[in-house]
Structure 1
């Protein structure tokens, strides 16, 4: 029984790592999209983003 559990963990680790990497990629794309969207909206409203601290 321990052997099967260990085998499952070994098999699951690469899948977990791949899922985590995909999540990191998604988060980077999402952050970039939000930044561009924020800049575009600021340009449309003629807001000085350089003077406003955006978190």
Structure 2
């Protein structure tokens, strides 16, 4: 039974790593999208983003 648990963990680790990498890619794209969207809205409203601290 210990062998099966080890085999399951060995198979699961690469899947978890792949999922983690995909989540990181998604978060980066989402952050880029939000930044671009924020800049576009600021341009439409003629807001100076440099003067406003955006986190």
TM-score when normalising by structure 2: 0.99
Q: Which structure 1 residue ranges, 5 or more long, are not aligned?
A: none
Paired with 1:25 and 1:46, the residues of 2 have a C-alpha distance of: 31
- Output the aligned Cα RMSD: 0.2
Runs in 1 of length 4+ with deviation above 4 angstroms? none
Which protein has the bigger helix share? 1
Q: How many residues end up aligned between the 2 structures?
A: 55
Q: Deviations over 1:4-54 (max 9, x none)?
A: 000000000000000000000000000000000000000000000000000
Alignment of 1:10-49 (within 5 A): 10-49=10-49
Paired with 1:16 and 1:49, the residues of 2 have a C-alpha distance of: 38
